[in-house]
Structure formats: structure tokens, C-alpha cells
Amino acid sequence: MRGMDVLRGFKHPNPQAHDRGALRGGLDRPQGSLFARLDGPTFQGGPIQYLRIDVHPRRATIDQTRRRQIMAGNRVIKAIALILLLHVGHVHAERFTEAMDQAVQHMLAKQWPEAVSAFDRAASLGNLDAGQQYNFACVLALSGDHDRALTALEAAVNAGYTDTDHMQRDADLASLRTDPRFNAVIEHAGALLAFDQRVYGAKAIETPFAKSLPEAERIAGLSRLWSEAKYNFANFDLVPKLDWDALYLQTLPKVQRSSNTADYYRELIAFVAQLQDGHSGVFPPAALNDTFYARPPLRTRLIENRVLVTEVFHKSLTDQGLRPGTEILAINGKSVHQYVSESVVPWVSASTPQDRDQRSFGFQLLQGDLDQDLDLRIQNAGEDATDINVARWSQAQRSALKVSGKPSFSWKMLPDNIAYVALNEFESDQAATQYLANFERISKAKAIIFDVRRNGGGNGGEGYRVLATLTDQPIPTSRWQTRKYVPAWRAWGLVQTPIAESNSWSADGERHYQGQVLVLTSAETYSAAEDFVGAFKNMGRGKIVGEATGGSTGQPLFLALPGGGGARICAKRDRLADGTEFVGHGIHPDIPSAETVDGFRAGRDTVLDTAIAAIK
């Protein structure tokens, strides 16, 4: 069975296709047609008395020629058509969502017959997408209805689900594998995937690493990046001054002049960085890791516009005076801000100023070529500035230190019966699973403070599992959209319209904490962690304390490039459930609070102190 991320449309390595027709909104509607009477007006092509709107589950389409005529016609007519669509669609959207929520709950409880009934209700109200069809097939197989399970599995494949490896190892489908029809479905999925890869892939230019690449390959790689972003990037409206085609032409001679693969990838990284998107970027070949990613074994952070060392992982550095709280004043003879502006920022893909700062003055500040040491001017509190030379370490050297990162989950009871819960990642299920395992003790607190300041994201569903314990109502989580390119529409002179949907998540059902809740955020609160914060904000369940989040989430489209490198292009745009934009802006706190240099050096958590003071 695929996880709830697929079922609900969250980020997943193999996102499934959705067909939602021409109108935005993805509303659910009954099967059939609606007719809006149009008295009086005349459109191009003759008088029209009735406008037919073909209505299908979860999809409404108006003939595109008529759509163009309507958009140029009487406003009253447009209003009538839209009112009919919205009225019918709203009712069925709610019913479809309710049925799917019930299906999810029954699946989690392993109540297979009840889950089948809920899926049947949902299917009668709307089209199940590929992930939903796949989970329906699993539920049917587990309930013993093998014929319908195979039919649902074939429907999932026809809707775009082609993960044959998963289908062949998924224990939920074990009872189907002896049926010849199962192999036929696998073959069909493989054929669809092969055709898709032949049309949209680029195997000819996905060449292995070489120290230098032929000019034709270099141009082909740049061209693939340009083309994939042109047709798939979700956020061009957030960079209105960017002329993507002109930038492509400006970059062409640069990649032609690249004398080696490292220089070539520096140009590609700078090219995609102009999209100003944290979910888009270029990754050099693994063979060049020590050229691009070597760095000293320490961590830094921008606090009050000053660069402070936050962690040191080797005695050789502490012997040179580096320790938590040390300020870095200059790098290679330039002030730290000038160095960042000239030597870091041009190669940083970031969605917001705060995102750019946390990357540029954080993990990307000191990274670079293993063979190039760094000259640092540093200063500790109450001491004179000193100059030191620091070597970069390879990834292998840093890994050998066996530095343990922050745990996925931790919690403690603070004075005055306040529970502090750190959720440091949603890449795995550990943070949510451990929170639920400790819920009984945590829920005895008069207030909970959730800390996602160092959570870089992962799977949005993991954060929603936590939020589901804070309410007894469905949670509106987000609205999302992706571009849909229909060549015939372009040939007819029609504007391309996106596919758009809203998502929700069911309440936990067994757990319900009703005390006060606060969430701590920073610019390092990112991606799926921002999904968590956005849904919390929409719930109206409590205050957000800290700094604006990173302002970037979405579904990356991954690409292979010549020489063994790769790239990703953000292909999905997310908004808060009420439609508020946060990509390119960040989610801003209700109670602003930021770290201070004095507080960090003294070991005080200023933001946590602010949150504690806000608890009634």
C-alpha cells in the first residue's frame, strides 16, 4: 500500500498524474451535464440559447472554443455558469472528501471491509486518482475480493501509476501475484512507463562522468535544463524580471567555453539559481563532491547579522580558537558579507531573502574545493581578533567523525507543566511515530510548544499526523497547483490553465489534546515543515513564535544530466488552505522573536523564552 502522502496528493518521489479538465479548482460534481440558459447575447458563431457544461466526477469542462467565447462575452452569462458549477461542485466535493477521509481512517485501523465501502462511496462521487486507485486495490486484495482488486490496480495504472517494483514487492498485493492478470497489469505498466521515458526522458545525454565533456553534451545538458524548466517550473510568476530564454542564450557561450566538467557544472548551478527557488537546483556528479562540497567540520549561523560558529566537531579547530559563539569576521581577506556576496550567493538556489541568508551564511558558507584552504579572521567575546588557516575536509573525513545530528524527535517537561516537543525532521516517520508513542504523557501538560526551527522537511503527511491530535475536525492542509500543457490549446490560441486541488487531513480520532499550543519557527523551517506550520495556522489552534519560515515547498521533478550529475525543477506550487501565498514569502510569525548574539553565547534560547512568556 502506498502511504497517505500518495493518497492525499502530498510530495512523493513518484507523483501520479491527475486529469482535472479546463477549469481551475478540481471541484467534485455529479455525472452528466448542466445547462445554463443564455437569453439574448450573441457570441461569435451565432446565437446561443443554452450553454452545455459537461460535468464528470471531480472534473468540469466547457468546450474550449465556447470557453473562449464566454470569456469575451456577457458577465452575467459567465456568472450563471460559474454559480451552477460551484453550487453543485461544492456539495459533491465535500461528500467525496468525507468518503476519502473515512477510507483513510479505516485503512489505518486495518478495517478492510469498511475501507472498501468508503472507497466505493468516494468512487460514486468522484474519480479516484492513481494513488487512490492503488490503495483501493490494496484494500480490496486484503479483503479477499481479488477480481475487483485487479480491476482497481489496472485502473491505477491507466491513471498513471507505473511503479512496478513496488507493486511486485507490496505485501498487500501478495494474494494477486499468482493470477496471470497481475502479470498482465505489470507488463502494461512497464510498457506505459517505457513509452513515457522514451518521450520525456533523455537517455542519450545522461552520460557517465568524465573530467571534460564534449561540447555537444554540454549544450544538450543546458538545453534540457532550459526546456524542462520552461514547461514545468511552477513559480515563474515569482520572478517577473527573469527572461528565461535570454538567460539561456547568455549561458550558452559560457558552457561552450567550460574547459572541464567542474566549470561546466558551476555554470549550470548559477543558471538554475536565477529561478530563485529552493526546490530547484543542480547537483554536480558524485565524482566532484570534494570539489564542491568539502568544508571544515563546524557549523555556522547568521545571528543579528553576524556570523557565529554554532558547533565545532574536531579538536584541531578548538585548538585554533574556534568554539560555539566565535564570530567569523572575514574569509580569504574579504569581510564575511563581501565574501558571501561574491563567492557564495551567485550559486545559491533560494526562495526568499531569509532562505538565502540561512544557506549562504550556514552550510554553504565554507564549502568548496578540498584543495583550497580558508583564511579566517575570527573573534571570541572579550578577545582580540585573530587570523587562522582552516582546511576543508572531504565528506569521507567528516563522516568518519560519526557526528550525531539532532534526533528526529525529543521532548521534555518544562517548569509550570509545559511540554517542549522538538520535531526535527519529517524525512522519516520517526518524529510523528515517537510523538504519538509519548502522547499520553505529553498530553498531561497545560501547554505544548512544538519546535520546528531546524526541520528541513520531508513528507508533509508526517507533520499532519501530529496536528491531527490537536483537533476533532478535519484539517484543511493546503491548496496546490501544477502546470498542464495541452499542445492543441496552444494551436487554437488558448491560454494554458493549471490543475489545482485542495487537500485535507482527518482528525486522529483516538487522541485529542485541547490545551494551549505554540509553534516555534525560523528560516530553517522548510518544505514539509512549512506545510506543518501552514496547516497549524489555518487551524487557528495557537500562535506561531519566532522568525519567518524559509518560504519554499513543492514537488521537485528530478532530471539526469551529462557527466553523471542531476537537477531538480519545482513542478508544484503550494499555498495555504485559504489561498494565501507563502512560497517566495515564508509564513510569518504571530509573535516575532529572534536569536541574539548575547543570548546564544550565554546559552539562552530567546525564542523559547518568548513562547513560554506567551502561555497563559
Return the amino acid letter for 499.
I
In angstroms, the CA 14 to CA 294 distance is: 31
* CATH superfamily name and code, 295-393: PDZ domain (2.30.42.10)
Element (H, E) at 378: strand 374-379
pLDDT in tens, 577-593: 999 999 999 999 999 99
Cα–Cα distances in angstroms (integers) from residue 67 to residues 82, 220, 276, 281, 328, in the given order: 12, 39, 34, 37, 60
How does residue 502 score in pLDDT terms, banded at 50, 70 and 90?
confident
- Over the chain, what is the mean pLDDT? 87
Over residues 41-47, mean pLDDT:
33
Q: Which comes out higher in pLDDT, residue 298 or 406? A: 298
Over residues 528-539, mean pLDDT:
96
pLDDT in tens, 409-433: 999 999 999 999 999 999 999 999 9
In angstroms, the CA 401 to CA 414 distance is: 32
Q: Are 582 and 534 in contact (CB under 8 A)?
A: yes
The pLDDT, as a whole number, for residue 285 is 98
Whether 475 has a pLDDT exceeding 50, the answer reads yes
Query: Exposed, middle or buried: residue 133 (CB in 10 Å: 0-12, 13-18, 19+)?
Result: buried
Give CATH for domain 409-614. 3.90.226.10
Share of the chain above pLDDT 70, in %: 85
* Spatial CB neighbours of 305, under 8 Å, sequence gap ≥ 6: none
Q: What are the boundaries of each domain within the chain?
A: 4-198, 295-393, 409-614
In angstroms, the CA 567 to CA 133 distance is: 30
The alpha-helical segments, DSSP class H, found in 390-543 are 395-400, 430-437, 439-442, 460-467, 487-491, 528-539
CA angle (267 as vertex; 264, 269 as ends), nearest 5: 110
The pLDDT, as a whole number, for residue 104 is 84
